[in-house]
């Protein structure tokens, strides 16, 4: 958890008192969402509300450490159901990670542009004398569904994200459709997208809004969970972009007027994703609108962008597992207005500003484009705000999968700030990428290059039109087989790293300090690797079918040197993964 020091402001302090105490909602169990609501000044979905009003809550955990959480305007407190555009409810969310006695203190300010300044100077306390309190957090329910028992997924200083419970996360995600939020049941969304194929995946007891809306998009989350997919990449804002119909405002040009009911409904979906164990990858802009705010207002970091980041952090920063993506295909300029290229300094400033708003150590990334260049990452190496990258390459060329992913993982490690690298867009021109080629050059190329995950992207505009996720079921199953190979066999994937080419003879090899070695042969054939002396059990994994074959007695290596892979069980021209697991205490040095 990232803790912040509380600083008291010297500004105009709003004199309308909140209710005496916060209204708390939630299970009150550690690692699960708590919602705090107060009655405050009556406001509408107007620019002044989001730019000039600032609410923040200082939470202190049982150890005395403090974190500062931004709050937001919630209209009547039930806008997702009522579609209200005005009210006096103000709200904040917390995922407490430890049980025990907590305290809170809410502060509310009003002043020109006050919402977007990084911090405020020390001065007298707000005239809200009773807006503090205590609450008890119960121990975590480690058997809770999805991410609810695991805590917060955070950057842990290495190439894989880690939950509070200590488990590491291996991502298998959907990159398409990026227009996931262009859904007709959301308020203020002019879309015909219905996801009707997934109505049957909604089950009784799942969330809905306004008398039954939302079933189909909730059904998608359920379907992805059943397929073993644990992440989905999509845009929070595509005004003037490819899809054009997903944005958090009341209209594509109303970039200071946030649609409170729509955002409440988004939150219903995101909360269900937490329960299902599906991480939202929140993409804040795309290539076509990367300079949208600055074109509208001028400058290099528009006030409207700062408000946007604050509102999104306040509403969704509590999510147990989330990726924050500064922008898709950032730096790729196709036209010089909304699509004007963001430069490296802007990427740094944008990420640093967002980092200060988020109370936890989140994964903050940026995405490159087009698929034949990743140069934007070079000047971000070592920058503290970026904890990873969202990589786009070309799935038909293994160089852009294995070699470049390995390059960025190793380069960031040399800078002392290892990145969480994900192959989020293995670009493909065919509508349906060839499954065998995709499995070899995208999925397993990423994993063997040291990526923390991969995603499926579909081409020919299907990333904008797909509504039935079952069309790609064979790909979901292939990804789930890969994930389950690591998880079910308790392989320390978080410790594994690619071996040097001088230690590999054919194929791609990863090793871990545990004595586990993986040799992937994309086209079958023979392979070998250098290993220390010891006894090794050999297991062949068929990535296409998910079957694991063991070869019987361990093979003894008496001296450090080359080990031949030997013969796979069958299909010698197919791709195979050889897993060597070292036997403790059986010959050689441990």
Q: What is the pLDDT of residues 516-552, one digit of tens each?
A: 999 999 999 888 889 999 999 999 999 999 999 998 7
Binned at pLDDT 50, 70 and 90, residue 18 comes out as: low
Model confidence at 500: pLDDT above 80: yes
The predicted-structure confidence for 464-484, as pLDDT tens digits, reads as follows 999 999 999 999 999 999 999
Model confidence at 507: pLDDT above 60: yes
Mean pLDDT of the region 65-90: 97
d(CA 448, CA 454): 11
The pTM score is 0.94
Model confidence at 506: pLDDT above 90: no
d(CA 182, CA 410): 37
Mean pLDDT of the region 221-232: 98
Angle at the Cα of 430 from the Cα atoms of 456 and 577, rounded to 5 degrees: 50
Q: What is the pLDDT of residue 13?
A: 45
Mean pLDDT of the region 404-427: 97
Structure tokens of 136? 């008890």
Model confidence at 583: pLDDT above 90: no
Of 146-150, 373-377, 401-405, 502-506, least confident by mean pLDDT is 502-506
Q: What is the pLDDT of residue 429?
A: 83
Q: What residue ranges define each of the domains in the chain, with the CATH number in brackets?
A: 23-137 (2.60.40.10), 171-494 (3.20.20.80), 499-583 (no CATH)
d(CA 200, CA 223): 10
Ramachandran angles phi, psi of 33, nearest 5°: -65, 135
CA 339 to chain centre: 24
The predicted-structure confidence for 434-475, as pLDDT tens digits, reads as follows 999 999 999 999 999 999 999 999 988 888 999 999 999 999
Residue scoring higher pLDDT (586 or 230): 230
Could you write out the DSSP letters of every residue in 462-523?
HHHH---GGGGHHHHHHHHHHHHHHHHTT--GGG-EEPPGGGEESSEEEE-TTSEEEEEETT
Q: Answer for the pair 70, 55: CB distance below 8 angstroms, yes or no.
A: yes
- Which helix H or strand E contains 37, and what residues bound it? strand 34-44
Model confidence at 124: pLDDT above 80: no
Structure tokens of 399? 């160089």
Residues with Cβ within 8 Å of residue 399, at least 6 apart in sequence:
none
């Amino acid at each position: 958890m990232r803790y912040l020091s509380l600083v008291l402001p010297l500004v105009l302090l709003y004199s309308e008192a909140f209710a005496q105490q916060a209204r708390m909602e939630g299970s009150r169990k550690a690692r699960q969402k708590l919602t705090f609501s107060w009655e405050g000044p009556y406001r509408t979905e107007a620019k002044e509300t989001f730019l000039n009003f600032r609410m923040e809550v200082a939470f202190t955990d049982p150890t005395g450490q403090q974190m500062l959480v931004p709050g937001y305007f919630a209209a009547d407190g039930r806008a997702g159901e009522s579609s209200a555009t005005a009210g006096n409810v103000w709200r904040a969310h917390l995922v407490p990670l430890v049980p025990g006695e907590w305290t809170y203190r809410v502060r509310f300010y009003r002043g020109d542009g006050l919402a977007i300044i990084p911090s405020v100077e020390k001065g007298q306390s707000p005239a809200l004398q009773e807006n503090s309190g205590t609450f008890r957090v119960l121990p975590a329910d480690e058997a809770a569904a999805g991410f609810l028992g695991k805590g917060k997924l955070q950057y842990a200083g290495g190439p894989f994200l880690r939950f509070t419970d200590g488990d590491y996360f291996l991502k298998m995600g959907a990159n398409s459709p990026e227009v996931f939020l262009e859904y007709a049941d959301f308020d203020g969304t002019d879309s015909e997208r219905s996801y009707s194929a997934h109505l049957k995946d909604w089950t009784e007891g799942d969330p809905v809004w306004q008398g039954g809306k939302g079933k189909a998009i909730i059904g998608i989350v359920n379907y992805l969970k059943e397929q073993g997919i644990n992440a989905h990449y999509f845009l929070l804002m595509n005004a003037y972009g490819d899809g054009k119909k997903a944005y958090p405002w009341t209209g594509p040009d109303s970039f200071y007027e946030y649609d409170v009911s729509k955002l409440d409904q988004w939150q219903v979906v995101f909360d269900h994703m937490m329960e299902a164990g599906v991480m939202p990858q929140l993409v804040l802009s795309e290539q076509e609108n990367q300079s949208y705010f600055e074109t509208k207002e001028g400058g290099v970091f528009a006030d409207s962008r700062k408000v946007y980041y604050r509102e999104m952090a306040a509403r969704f920063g509590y999510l147990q597992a989330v990726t924050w993506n500064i922008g898709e295909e950032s730096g790729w300029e196709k036209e010089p207005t909304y699509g004007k290229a963001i430069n490296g300094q802007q990427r740094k400033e944008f990420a640093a500003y967002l980092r200060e708003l988020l109370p936890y150590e989140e994964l903050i990334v940026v995405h490159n484009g087009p698929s034949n260049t990743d140069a934007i990452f070079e000047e971000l190496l070592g920058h503290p705000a970026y904890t990873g990258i969202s990589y786009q390459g070309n799935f038909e060329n293994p160089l852009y999968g294995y070699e470049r992913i390995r390059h960025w993982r190793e380069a960031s490690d040399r800078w002392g700030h290892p990145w969480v690298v994900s192959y989020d867009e293995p670009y493909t021109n065919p509508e349906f990428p060839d499954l065998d080629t995709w499995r070899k050059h995208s999925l397993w190329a990423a994993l063997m290059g040291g990526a923390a995950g991969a995603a499926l992207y579909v081409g020919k505009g299907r990333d904008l039109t797909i509504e039935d996720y079952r069309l790609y079921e064979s790909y979901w199953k292939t990804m789930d087989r890969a994930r389950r190979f690591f998880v079910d066999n308790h392989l320390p994937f978080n410790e594994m790293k690619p071996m040097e080419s001088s230690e590999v003879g054919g194929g791609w090899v990863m090793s871990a300090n545990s004595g586990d070695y993986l040799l992937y042969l994309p086209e079958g054939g023979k392979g070998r690797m250098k290993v220390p002396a010891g006894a090794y059990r050999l297991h062949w994994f068929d990535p296409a079918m998910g079957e694991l074959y063991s070869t019987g007695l361990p093979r003894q290596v008496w001296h450090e040197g080359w080990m031949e892979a030997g013969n796979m069980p069958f299909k010698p021209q197919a791709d195979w993964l050889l897993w060597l697991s070292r036997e403790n205490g059986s010959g050689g040095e441990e």
